[in-house]
Chains A and B, each alone.
Chain A
Amino acid sequence: MSGSSSYYYVPEHSHWPIVTSVGLFLTLVGAINILHHNSQVGMVVFLLGALTMAFILFGWFGSVVKESRGGLYGSMMDRSFRWGMFWFIFSEVMFFCAFFGALFYARIYSVPWLGGEGHGFMTNQILWPDFQAAWPLFKNPDNALFHGPKHVIGAWGIPAINTLLLLTSACTLTWAHWALLRSKRTQVIFGLLLTVTLGVIFLGCQGYEYVLAHHHDGLTLGSGIYGSTFFMLTGFHGAHVTVGTIMLTTMLVRVLKGHFNESDHFGFEACAWYWHFVDVVWLFLFIFVYCI
């Protein structure tokens, strides 16, 4: 049966999904307990859940890799994975859309309205008579409750370097992909290694920028809508870069183990798609969060 192109592999039973559900449940419930100052119990439950999730990353993906190596997947499975990854990335795009939407709404509508523009005239007069609309917002409507930042991060310092880093990493990744298509193993390894390194440097720069923002600029999550949108957008992007870096590292390990060949390497391509998605999100961030 296996080997024929019409055969589609259906695993018999799997305990990974239920373990994943339990893991996610523990992680989230633990995290909320920590937030509710029930720290000790919360921390234990959270760590238990997080460890379970880490264990699953090895277990579940490990069995998929094993099945793939065992020749159980045909061309139809390959197409399923392609559709699956594509729509998963699309869902991620929509997740970022929510935060970009919040940013655009604040800049185009809520801040000008609070400053008295358009139908916000009375709001401004009665509720926040001293408030003046501006972006970046250094003085919030209620500046005692939400301290505005002293400075914000300019575009042409670290962010510009970060843009270069990510764009270069996209090139090195494509270089590695070309090498994979031509079975040039050393070039693949070198290209992936460069990409992962660039990703790690990016994360380092981003971390340094956060430290500067907190200690030098007084820019925090709590400094009004500027800080809120800034940290949510760059923070979730950073989290995605972290995930992407882990994915690419995994691919590096798989290449070192000799897993891919020029026709069968969707695992690699899926990670590359993800990395390019993260890259494109960064370009939007650079333009709309840092530049204008």
Chain B
Amino acid sequence: MSAEATLDQPKRHPLSAWFLRWVCSTNHKDIGTLYLFFSLAMFLTGGVMALLIRTELFQPGMQIMQPNTYNNMITMHGLIMVFGAVMPAFVGLANWMIPIMVGAPDMAFPRLNNWSFWLLPFAFSIMLSTLFMQGGAPNFGWTFYAPLSTTYGPPSTDFFIIAVHMMGVSSIMGAVNVVATVLNMRAPGMTMMKLPIFCWAMLITAFLLIAVMPVLAGAVTMMLTDRHFGTSFFNAAGGGDPILFQHIFWFFGHPEVYIMILPAFGVISEIIPTFSRKKLFGYSCMVGATASIAILSFIVWAHHMFVSGIPLGAEIFFMYATLLIAVPTGVKVFNWITTMFRGSLSFETPMLFAIAFVILFTIGGLSGLMLAMSPVDYQYHDTYFVVGHFHYVLVPGAIFSILAGVYYWLPKWTGHMYSETLGKWHFWLSTIFINVTFFPMHFLGLAGMPRRIPDYALQFTDFNMVATVGAFGFGLSQLLFLAVIYKTIRGGVPATAQVWEGAQGLEWTLPSPTPHHTFDTPPLITD
């Protein structure tokens, strides 16, 4: 791969050429690749933590770790999966695909793009180093509620705070880049309503990121000053309120949930039409639905706080606002199914992941509606039902869409077809084991098992054992994914430019693998 980079340059030492290409890169494809590999590394790191958690929960009683270590693990698992695995994966896909989908020579700000990526390894080095610090890693859950993170947080909390700041800068700069690219760099003739749906999804996601990452930065800044400079934002003794932290956190946190799922909707909306050999049903409705979900996401945050003692009127408002989100989401599910209706379907691996996404994400969405209802949430809150719910929207939701996208675009990136047999094995094992892992959690939660507890009552044992077996099955199946990626990069059946019979769009007019620089002069879009 590095041969290409050295072609047009004087001969350089291989190490210096490697450094220039990957560390000093301004190429959106290379930076996209970096994002995707980084995300994969974080996915595996967070996954190992998940397996440690499941091992601890295999049986009641303390198994392999101290309660505080267990708290470290759930905190780190959440933070790494959200900020390290899912978000960078979508930014990676956006980096790779947006310029070649809209016919731009690169992202709008290539150097800024590089900085957005190269902040992440530093941020996560800080984050992971807290595991080895005196007093242990952060242990308050990924939501870092005050006063757990202020009065009672371990010293490493301050390092966690600066890591969050760095991730925030990375996300904001990355999002500014996406917005400028989509709004300004489209090829002549590509109007906004001809924009590929994935670009729309990323544009709206970028808007959400720019709006809420600064609020998260504000929250951790107040945490820092509460910890060290004597302020009392989250301390009632000085007139503040710990609940204020929850409001600020969830004002960030709920849009954050959509930051992780709107790009997934975009990927799925690209894949289903291709393998149905039909145009996406209701394109403009899809755009409108994505925008509506994004707007609604700003007025639903307190549904995470129904049991925190907020006023009744607020509970009712936030309950109805939340239930309203079911409407645009329902539009989306309806449109995906209608796209497939009477299509000429084929079931390659990306399509299998996409269909599983539609079904399993909908299950997660429906349990979300149950949680949205404030009277019943009093029972579900902080139980395993919640854990089951959000893992259904994040694993067979966000993660499946990333896997689907990687299988879909891998031939375009590498120029080789992946092994369909291995891909299908990966799909079926993942899908089966995901359900084995997360479905029992709903029953556990309804029966009253609390979340974030390393030990549990005897009657919960059977379902926990099942979930642990499923988790290991899912974890091990991902080794197949590694094998697929490795083999496809190394070789395989050459891919055509179009790759998939039903694929439409600018990116499929480029040869596979795509040249290092594409669309230096913009193509003209006519139809």
Residues on A facing B (Cβ under 8 Å): 1, 6-8, 10-18, 20-22, 24-25, 28-29, 31-32, 35-36, 60, 76, 79-80, 83-84, 87-88, 90-92, 94-95, 97-99, 101-102, 105-106, 109-111, 113-114, 118-119, 127-128, 137, 140-142, 145-146, 220-222, 224-229, 231-232
Contact = CB atoms under 8 A, between A and B. Distances in A.
A99 B184 CA distance: 32
A99 B233 CA distance: 10
Interface stretch (B22-30, B79-87, B194-202): B22-30
A102 B219 CA distance: 10
Nearest to A63: B111
5 contacts: A15-B23, A17-B111, A32-B159, A84-B176, A228-B240
Contacts of B219: 98
B211 to A, nearest CB: 5
Given A17-B118, A140-B232, A140-B237, A110 B244 contact: yes
A95 B210 contact: no
A258 B363 CA distance: 63
A14 B238 contact: no
A11 B233 contact: no
Contacts of A113: 241
A228 B233 contact: yes
B165 interface: yes
B110 interface: yes
Nearest to A87: B176
B185 interface: yes
B252 to A, nearest CB: 9
A80 B210 contact: no
A40 B247 CA distance: 38
A8 B105 contact: yes
Given A10-B106, A84-B109, A94-B215, A109 B180 contact: no
B172 A91 contact: yes
B309 interface: yes
Contacts of A6: 521-522
B338 interface: no
A227 B26 CA distance: 45
Contacts of B25: 13
A76 B185 contact: yes
Given A36-B155, A146-B238, 5 more contacts: A14-B24, A14-B111, A84-B177, A106-B239, A225-B238
A195 B106 CA distance: 38
Contact of B114 (A17, A88, A137, A220): A17
Contacts, number: 213
A268 to B, nearest CB: 19
Interface string B122-144: 10001000000000000000000
A102 B248 contact: yes
B237 A98 contact: no
A291 B252 CA distance: 29
A228 B238 contact: yes
Nearest to B309: A119
Interface stretch (B54-62, B221-229, B317-325, B451-459): B221-229
A79 B180 CA distance: 8
A101 B248 contact: yes
A80 B239 contact: no
Contacts of B104: 8
Nearest to B108: A80
A222 B238 CA distance: 9
B26 A14 contact: yes
Contacts of B243: 110
Contact of A83 (B119, B180, B521): B180
Given A28-B165, A88-B176, A11 B26 contact: yes
Nearest to B220: A98
A140 B108 contact: no
B20 interface: yes
The 4 closest A-B pairs by CB, nearest first: A98-B218, A222-B230, A225-B239, A142-B237
B15 interface: no
A105 B310 CA distance: 12
Contacts of B214: 91-92, 94-95, 97-98
B176 A106 contact: no
Given A36-B155, A80-B184, A119-B311, A145 B231 contact: no
B318 to A, nearest CB: 15
Interface string B84-126: 0000000000000000000011101111101100110110001
Contacts of B521: 6-7
A105 B238 contact: no
B218 A95 contact: yes
Contacts of A94: 210-212, 214-215
A105 B247 contact: yes
A22 B238 CA distance: 38
A126 B247 CA distance: 25
A76 B185 CA distance: 8
A207 to B, nearest CB: 18
B162 interface: yes
B300 interface: no
Contacts of A105: 241, 244, 247
Nearest to B134: A36
Contacts of B229: 221-222
Contact of A221 (B109, B166, B231): B231
B183 interface: yes
Nearest to A31: B162
Nearest to B161: A32
B7 interface: no
Contact of B111 (A7, A60, A76, A232): A60
Given A24-B122, A32-B158, A32-B162, A141 B239 contact: yes
B218 A87 contact: no
B356 interface: no
Contact of B238 (A7, A92, A95, A140): A140
Contacts of A102: 218, 222, 233, 240, 244, 248
Contacts of A111: 239
Centre residue among A35, A98, A127, A137 by max chain B CB count within 10 A: A98
B50 interface: no
Given A14-B111, A83-B184, A91-B172, A110 B240 contact: yes
A229 B111 CA distance: 36
A224 to B, nearest CB: 4
B31 to A, nearest CB: 10
Nearest to A8: B105
Given A29-B126, A101-B247, A225 B233 contact: yes
A28 B162 contact: yes
A10 B26 contact: yes
A110 B236 contact: yes
